[in-house]
Structure formats: C-alpha cells, structure tokens
C-alpha cells in the first residue's frame, strides 16, 4: 500500500465542491418537477449520486463520471414524464475551478510538485536544529508530490477533519547549514555521508571482486570534502575494542554466523508497500503523522538518514536494510530519537548555535547517536549490539590496514563478501587511494555513545534528557531548571521509565557487558 495525498485533496473537494454541486442539482430538480409533475428524489439518494465522482491521481474530479451523473438525471425524468429533454447541466463551477487554498501562479504550483533529492543541507558535524520561517514546499493545505519511491506521509483523521491542512513549517525542526539564519541555505552541497559515496562505486566493487579481493579500490567523489573535515575523523579509537569483540563473539556463540543471526533476528527484507505501512503505523504511535516526508533509496551506505529538505524533516530509508523485525527499531532510532529530540530542541533557549555557545553545552554526540542506537534494539527479544560493535571494530583496524587487508581481516566475523564490502567501504569513506591505511571514524560514535549511556543509566533522567533536546546526558542536571517543558514530546517507548530501564538492563545482560569494567573505563 502506497500512501497518497490524493485522499486529503478529496476531503477538500467533498467538503466544499460537492456541496455546490448538490445545490445546483437541486435547482435542476425543481425545474424538472414543474415541467413533468414528477416527485423529487430523496435528498439522501441525490447525495449518493453526487459522491460517485471519482478522483484522479492528482486529486482532481474525473471528467467522465461527472458527465454521467449530470446527464442521467434528465433522461430519467423525460422518459417517465414525457417532458421535452432539456440540455444537460453544466459541470458545477465549484468543481471546475481550482480551490481557493490551492490557487497561485503556475510557478508556485510547479515548485510544490518538484521532488528534490533530500540532500539540500547538512554539515560535517551534527548541528542543532534552528527554526525556519520559510517553506516553499509547505503552503496552506499544500503537500509534497509522491513519486514511485517517494511518499509524503502527511495526513491523519484529525487532519482530514481540518480539510487536509498540515502543520506550518515553523513548528517543525529545521537543521540549517548556516548559524542562526532564517532563510534557506543557498548551497546545494549534499550532506556529509552522501557526499562521501564514491561516484565509481559499482565499477570499483566489480574490479575488487574479480581480483579475488586483492585489488585496492581507487574511489572518485563528486565534491571532495575539505581536508579539515576528513582530518576530524581520521583517528580510530581502541578504548572499547574489548567490548566490541565481546559483543560479536557473544552473537557468534549463539547463532554460529552473522548470516544466521541476520536471518533469524532480522527476518525478510520488506517490499515498498509494507515499508510505507509500517512507517505510517509508527508515525501514528508517536503522534507525528503529517510531519515527516519518507523516502526509499538503494544508494545509502547507512540504514537510514534523517535530514531536512525545504524545511521538511525527510527520512530516507535504505531498502536493503528494511527487514521485517528491524524496521521499527530503525524508526525508533530516526523518528523516536533524532526527530523528536530535534522538535524539543526548538523549544529551548539553546536551540540555536549561538544559544549552545551561550549556555556552554557539550557536543550532542556521542549521547545523540548512542541513545538512538540503543533504541534501535530496545524492544527486540534478542537486543544484540552487533552492528555498532562491528562498525567500531572495522574502523579501528582500518586505521592501520588497506582496503583488501581489512576485507580479509573482518572475515572472522562476516563471511558474506557483499556485507564485508559494505562495512569496509564505510570505514574507508573519503579515501581516494584505499591501498593506504586510514579510516573515517564517525561510525565509532554509536558504540561509544551506547556504552557511556549504559555506564550511567542509573543516574540519567531519560525523560528530561529527551525533553531538553539535542544535549549530552552530562548537561541534563544543570539545564533542568532552565528548560521549557510545555509542548515537549516523549516517544511512546520512554514514557514508562521503570520499564525503559528494565530494557536497558536486558541489553547489558544479553551482550554480556560488565558494569564494573565500564566503571573502570568511564569513571
């Protein structure tokens, strides 16, 4: 099932235009009654006839059905009453004209229908959301147009009662490229993780596989990142290497191989229709239907990414990673954590770059990604932290290995060549000549954040951590009395904090993590 915004438009048509059509038909009936001395049909029946009009994929009433409805009524009257046939009624004016809320220049309408790639803004490091006062994709009653692999989940029962209007852009989080700007960024540079996807990826993968995994890929990029960005992530850490290996060995001991672990715990890869259905169901759980544009892609190196396009939060999901039992965990990661914390961040006095500096806030990471990664596995029966552990391990060894050496090294944990390729590619992002040692260490933030949160889980007020927005758990206590709490939102799985802590304890036990070791590493 593909969710389509046509239903929203139909509500607008039925709410206004069909009413006008009904009035016009009533006038025609009164005229027919005088001429043919024929009793008027019940109002309920006329209403049913009027509502038989169909809607095209663009939301406009179909011409053919309307014509049939108008012409059928006079023919019935003339056949039974013997009156001279009168000319067919004209299509009601209210159904021929563009509804008032959708009127505008042709250029404005075209802008609303253009589906841009979701990589309009972003920066090398996570930025705090700032509000946007402009939104070319969101006029009153406007919507995003859907393509085959794009869906705007933008209506609910409540919205339909309000004739399809969506929340204004000013109430949604916006991650701006600049600092404190209220206009759209002029740069079209894609976000970091997309910019680091090589242009010649498929060619180099084929050459690597044909060489029996001995060739060192030579990657090309559309817009090479500034050296300062790559320097920031060039050093891999080994602080939690022991924990990473322990987690993976725990999985192999139970499942025998990563491939078996993926099949048993992940389930089958879902088709698009089921992905759309699962996304809508989750948005309903969090009460944010109509706020997030969802897209599917087969070109991401990560499982999913949440960015902002034209002031609309946009979630792009990797189709290859949309597995039956893992998809909701990904939605808890991206929407239940990143998106809702961004919404809450906008309400706080530190919701801008200047505000963060003013209050002396620590960086949002590793808390942000650590919390989101915990939520990915939170409600699973077997919440293994395999992915975060293997990413950490792969990045650490990429620091001292070439691509082919790294590929061979991680075969200890992953046999599937395609899966190994993906992990090595992530660890070597940004490199042109992969024969040289070096890494892109950003992927270590997941396990780093996870273990820091688990170490202090008994002392963290998780509801307050979420309400404060994009802040580190270390800043919670000093910001508590400054927080603006009305209208903040807590994801459904965090509302019972006692049960939430039980889930965290279960994660610690399943991954055989030792609290005393964590206390030694993180005093």
Among the listed residues 204, 216, 309, 334, the single catalytic one is 334
Determine the 3-state secondary structure of 37 from DSSP.
coil
The answer to whether 334 is a known catalytic residue is yes
Burial class (CB within 10 angstroms; exposed 0-12, middle 13-18, buried 19+) of 451: buried
The whole-angstrom separation of Cα 72 and Cα 68 is 6
Residues 504 and 382 sit within 8 Å (Cβ to Cβ): no
**CB-based contacts of 350, cutoff 8 Å, min separation 6:** 128, 356, 358, 359, 361, 469, 471, 479
The whole-angstrom separation of Cα 365 and Cα 334 is 15
Q: Is residue 305 within a helix (H) or strand (E), and if so which, with residue range? A: strand 304-309
Residues 381 and 157 sit within 8 Å (Cβ to Cβ): no
Q: Is residue 272 within a helix (H) or strand (E), and if so which, with residue range? A: helix 272-286
Burial class (CB within 10 angstroms; exposed 0-12, middle 13-18, buried 19+) of 405: middle
Residues 460 and 453 sit within 8 Å (Cβ to Cβ): yes
The whole-angstrom separation of Cα 225 and Cα 125 is 13
The whole-angstrom separation of Cα 16 and Cα 21 is 9
Catalytic residues: 334
């Amino acid at each position: 099932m593909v969710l389509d915004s046509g239903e929203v438009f139909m509500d607008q048509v039925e709410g206004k235009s069909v009413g006008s059509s009904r009035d016009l038909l009533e006038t025609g009936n009164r005229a027919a009654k005088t001429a043919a001395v024929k009793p008027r049909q019940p109002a309920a029946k006329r209403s049913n006839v009027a509502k038989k009009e169909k809607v095209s994929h663009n939301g406009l009433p179909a011409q053919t059905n309307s014509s049939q409805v108008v012409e059928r009524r006079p023919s019935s009257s003339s056949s039974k009453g013997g009156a001279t046939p009168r000319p067919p009624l004209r299509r009601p004016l209210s159904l021929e004209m563009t509804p008032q809320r959708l009127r505008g220049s042709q250029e404005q309408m075209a802008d609303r229908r253009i589906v841009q790639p979701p990589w309009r803004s972003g920066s090398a490091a996570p930025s705090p959301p700032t509000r946007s006062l402009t939104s070319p994709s969101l006029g009153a009653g406007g919507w995003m147009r859907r393509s085959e692999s794009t869906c705007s989940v933008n209506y609910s029962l409540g919205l339909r009662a309000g004739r399809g209007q969506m929340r204004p852009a000013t109430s949604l989080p916006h991650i701006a490229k600049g600092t404190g700007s209220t206009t759209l960024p002029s740069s079209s540079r894609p976000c970091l993780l997309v910019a680091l996807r090589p242009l010649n990826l498929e060619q180099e993968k084929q050459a690597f596989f044909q060489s029996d995994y001995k060739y060192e890929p030579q990657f090309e990029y559309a817009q090479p990142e500034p050296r300062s960005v790559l320097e920031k992530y060039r050093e891999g850490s080994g602080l939690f290497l022991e924990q990473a290996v322990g987690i993976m060995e725990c999985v192999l001991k139970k499942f025998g191989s990563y491939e078996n672990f993926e099949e048993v715990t992940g389930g089958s890869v879902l088709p698009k229709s089921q992905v759309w259905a699962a996304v809508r169901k989750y948005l309903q759980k969090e009460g944010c239907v109509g706020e997030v544009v969802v897209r599917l892609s087969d070109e991401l190196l990560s499982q999913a990414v949440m960015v902002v396009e034209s002031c609309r939060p946009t979630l792009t999901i990797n189709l290859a990673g949309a597995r039956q039992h893992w998809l909701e965990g990904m939605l808890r990661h991206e929407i239940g954590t990143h998106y809702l914390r961004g919404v809450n961040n906008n309400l706080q006095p530190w919701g801008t770059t200047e505000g963060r500096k003013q209050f002396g806030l620590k960086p949002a990471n590793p808390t942000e990604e650590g919390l989101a990664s915990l939520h990915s596995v939170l409600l699973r029966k077997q919440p293994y932290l395999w992915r975060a552990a293997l990413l950490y391990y792969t990045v650490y060894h990429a620091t001292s290995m070439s691509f082919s050496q790294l590929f061979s090294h991680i075969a200890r944990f992953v046999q599937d060549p395609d899966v190994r390729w993906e992990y090595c590619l992530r660890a070597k992002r940004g490199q042109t000549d992969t024969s040289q040692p070096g890494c892109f260490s950003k992927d270590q933030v997941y396990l780093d954040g996870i273990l820091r949160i688990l170490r202090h889980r008994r002392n963290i007020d998780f509801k307050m951590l979420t309400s404060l927005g994009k802040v580190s758990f270390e800043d919670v206590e000093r910001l508590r009395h400054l927080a603006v709490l009305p209208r903040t939102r807590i994801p459904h799985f965090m509302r019972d904090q006692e049960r939430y802590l039980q889930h965290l304890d279960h994660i610690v036990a399943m991954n055989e993590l030792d609290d005393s070791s964590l206390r030694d590493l993180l005093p």
